[in-house]
Amino acid sequence: MNPEHWDAVRAHDAAVRALGLELWVGAEPTFTDKGSLDPWWLWEPLGGDKEAKGQALLRALAPRLDGPSEVTCAQGRLYPEEPEPRWCYGALWNRDGSPLEGVSWPLGLEGPKVTPPPWDASQAWLTVTPDPGVVEVNMAPSGELQGFARHTLAVYAAAEEVGLSPLRYQYNGVVTDSGGGGQLTFGGPSAQGSPFFVRPWTLPCLVGYLSRHPSLSYLFAPDCVGSASQGPRPDEGAPERFSELLAVQRWMAWARRQGPPLAPSALWEAYAPLLVDGSGNSHRAELNVEKLWNPHLAERGRLGLVELRALRMQPTPAHAVAVAALYRAVVALAATEHGDPHLARWGDALHDTMALPGALANDLRAVLSELDAHGLGLGALAPLLLETEEPVLRAHLGGSTLTVRRAREFWPLLGDVASQERRGARWVDASAERVELTLEGPPGTDLGALAVHGARVPSTWTERDGVRRASLGVKRRAFVPCPGILSGMTPQDPLTITWALGDALRTWDLHGWIPGGGAYAGLPTEPEEARRRRLERVLERSSPEPLPDREWPLGPHQGTLDVRVPM
C-alpha cells in the first residue's frame, strides 16, 4: 500500500466515526500452493503438507501482530461425514500491545486443545484452519480500517514467506483466486453494540442495497456465481422465498417508521429463513446471518455478526483493503437515514445484461458516486476497485476499436442439491463461457458489423460521454464436461469473430486450449508465462472469413447471445 492508500484509509475511518458508528470488520483470507496439483491443494480439506504449511504460516504471522502473542493448538470444527475435528491453530494477543498475563500455550500437535476464548474487545483471537484446497486465516476483527489494513498486510506477508499464494494460474493461463474465497464479516465491539442492533434498519437497508447493485455481488466474486455458488443472491433462489423477502422488506420499512427498535431475535427470525442458498442453508448465502442472533449455535451464534460471502480472494493486500473499505462504506450508508430497504426486480436481466463487465463497471461507478455524495467516498482506494483484467482481444479498424473481455457465467449445479449439501465442495457444469464484445468510436463513427460463429450479430449503439458504443455478450460451450450436462453438445472452440468496417475485414479464432491441441508443460507459475499462454490462444487469420448473410436471432432487450445451439 502506498501513502495515498493510507490517507484514504484514515479518511474512511474518520467518515465512519463522524456517523457515530462502531463498525468492526473481519476477514477470512485463504491461500493455496499455486503450483500443486495435489488434491488437498485443489478440493480436499485435509492431507499432505497442508497442516505443516498452516503451522508455518502462523509462526511467520505471530511476530507481525500488534503485540506479544501466544500461539496454540485450538479445538477445530467437526464437519458432517468427517471422522474427527479438523486441525486449528490460534493466536491470542492484547489489542493495546501489552503482554498477556497468565497465558502460556505451546504450539503443538500433542496435549489438550484450547477452546477459543469468549469474545472480548480488549483481546484479539486469530486462527489458521484448513478448507477445501486452501489454508484459511480467520482474522481478528478490527474496530477501524487502519487496524484491518495492518493485519491484512501481515497475513499476506506471512503467507508469501511460507510459499502460499492468494491466487493460482490455470493451464491455459487464466488467473483465478486461491479457490477458498475472501469473505468479510461486520459487527460491533460486542453483540449488543453491533450496528445491526443499535440501528436495526441497517440489515434491511443492506439487503436492499445489495439487491439494487449487482456489481457488489459479481465484480469481486469467485468464478462460480449464481444459484450454485457459495454466496447466491436472494433473487437467485426459489421465487417463493424472494416474494416473502419483498414482504419482509416492506414490513421493515413500516416498522422503522413506527418504532420502537426491533429486538435482535426479531431481526434474526425475519431473515434467517430467507437469506439462504438453494438447499435452505443460511451459511452459504451472499448475506450470512447465522451468527447474528442464532439460538441454535451455542456460544458463537449470538454475536451480532453479518458475513458477506460473494467475495473472492484478492491478489494483493491493497486490493483486499479497498474491497473491505467499499463494503464497510456500504454498511455504514445503510445505517444512516439514507438507507433504503426496497429490492430490485431484475428478472432475466440479472443473468443476461448484468453478467457483462461493462454493465457491472457502470453499476460500481454509481455505487462509488453515491458513497461520495454521502461523505463515504473511498479516495485513492477507488481506482483499485475499478481495475479490469487484460482484454482477451483488442483490435482497431479505422477510428473504431473492438474489445473482447471475459464476462461472468452462471454454472448449474449437477445432480440433486441436497445430495451435495454435506460436501466441502460442489460439482457444477463449468463448460459454459461468456465474453463481452464491445465496439467503440467517436460520436458519429461507423462501428462496422460483427459476426460470431458463422452468423451476423445484431447490435444497437448508444452515445454517451463522448463515445459511440455497441456491446453484446456471447455465450458458448468451451469444452465437453465430464460429468456434465448434454455431453453430445459440441463445443464452439475456437469461437470465430469477424469484424467488417467498410472494405476492411478481420477475423480471429479464440481458442480455449492450445491451438491445434496438445498438452501444456505443467501449470504456469509466473504471471508472464500465464499471459503468454492467454495471448497464444487468440489467432488472427491471414485470410479473413467473409461476413455471412444470416443473422443470429436476438430479442430487443437481450444482452447475451447463446451460440451453443445451432440456428
Are 60 and 144 contained in the same domain?
yes
Q: For residue 91, how many other CB atoms are within 10 A of its CB? A: 22
Assigned domain for 567 exists? no
| Per-residue pLDDT tens digits of the chain, which is 567 residues long | 999 999 999 999 999 999 999 999 999 999 999 999 999 999 999 999 999 999 999 999 999 998 888 888 888 888 877 888 999 999 999 999 898 887 776 866 866 677 877 778 889 999 999 999 999 999 999 999 999 999 999 999 999 999 999 999 999 999 999 999 999 999 999 999 999 999 999 999 999 999 999 999 999 999 999 988 889 999 999 999 999 999 999 999 998 888 888 899 999 999 999 999 887 888 889 999 999 999 998 778 899 999 999 999 999 999 999 999 999 999 999 999 999 999 999 999 999 999 999 999 999 999 999 999 999 999 999 999 999 999 999 999 988 999 999 999 999 888 765 566 666 667 888 999 999 999 999 998 899 999 999 899 988 888 888 999 999 999 999 999 888 888 888 899 999 999 999 999 999 999 999 998 899 989 998 999 999 999 999 999 999 989 999 999 887 778 999 999 887
Torsion angle (degrees, nearest 10) of CA 145, 34, 424, 180: 20
CB 389 within 8 A of CB 441: no
Assigned domain for 547 exists? yes
Q: For residue 390, how many other CB atoms are within 10 A of its CB? A: 11
Are 112 and 215 contained in the same domain?
no
Are 283 and 399 contained in the same domain?
no
CB 324 within 8 A of CB 12: no
CB 508 within 8 A of CB 481: no
Which residues sit opposite 538 in a β-bridge? 510
Return the closest-CA partner of residue 490 out of 551, 565, 553, 414: 565
- Give the structural domain span for 263: 1-26+185-388
Cα 423 to Cα 79, 82, 103, 290, distances in angstroms: 9, 10, 37, 19
Assigned domain for 356 exists? yes
User: To 5 degrees, how large is the angle CA 227–CA 38–CA 228?
Assistant: 5
Using the structure block, give the residue that is written with the C-alpha cell 419483498.
Answer: 246
CB 430 within 8 A of CB 477: no
Are 118 and 9 contained in the same domain?
no
- Return d(Cα 396, Cα 441) in angstroms, integer: 10
Are 247 and 367 contained in the same domain?
yes
Are 252 and 348 contained in the same domain?
yes
Are 473 and 422 contained in the same domain?
yes
Q: For residue 366, how many other CB atoms are within 10 A of its CB? A: 13
pTM: predicted TM-score of the whole model, two decimal places = 0.95
C-alpha cell at 565: 445451439
**How does strand 175-177 pair with strand 167-169?**
antiparallel
The size of the chain, in residues, is 567
Assigned domain for 405 exists? yes
CA-based radius of gyration for the chain = 25
Assigned domain for 531 exists? yes
Ramachandran assignment for 351, one of left (phi > 0), alpha (psi -120 to 50 degrees), beta (any other): alpha
Assigned domain for 223 exists? yes
Three-state secondary-structure class, residue 444: coil
Q: Is the peptide bond before 494 cis (omega within 30 degrees of 0)?
A: yes
Number of folded domains that form the chain:
3
Assigned domain for 3 exists? yes
Return the closest-CA partner of residue 246 out of 335, 342, 349: 342
- Return d(Cα 244, Cα 237) in angstroms, integer: 12
DSSP notation for 250-313: HHHHHHHHH-SPPPHHHHHHHHTTTS--TTS-SSSSSEE-TTTS-TTSTTTS-S--EEE-S-PP
Are 417 and 503 contained in the same domain?
yes
Q: Which of 368, 388, 408 corresponds to the end of one domain?
A: 388
Are 346 and 449 contained in the same domain?
no
pLDDT of the residue at 566: 80
Are 166 and 43 contained in the same domain?
yes
pLDDT of the residue at 463: 87
SS3 content of the chain, % helix, strand, coil (to 5): 30, 20, 50
CB 496 within 8 A of CB 509: yes
Q: Which of 337, 365, 388 corresponds to the end of one domain?
A: 388
* Eight-class DSSP state of 118: P
Phi first, then psi: what are they for 175, rounded to 5°?
Answer: -95, 130
Amino acid at 31: F
pLDDT of the residue at 101: 81
Assigned domain for 536 exists? yes
Are 244 and 384 contained in the same domain?
yes
CB 404 within 8 A of CB 499: no
Q: Which of 388, 412, 433 corresponds to the end of one domain?
A: 388
Are 85 and 127 contained in the same domain?
yes
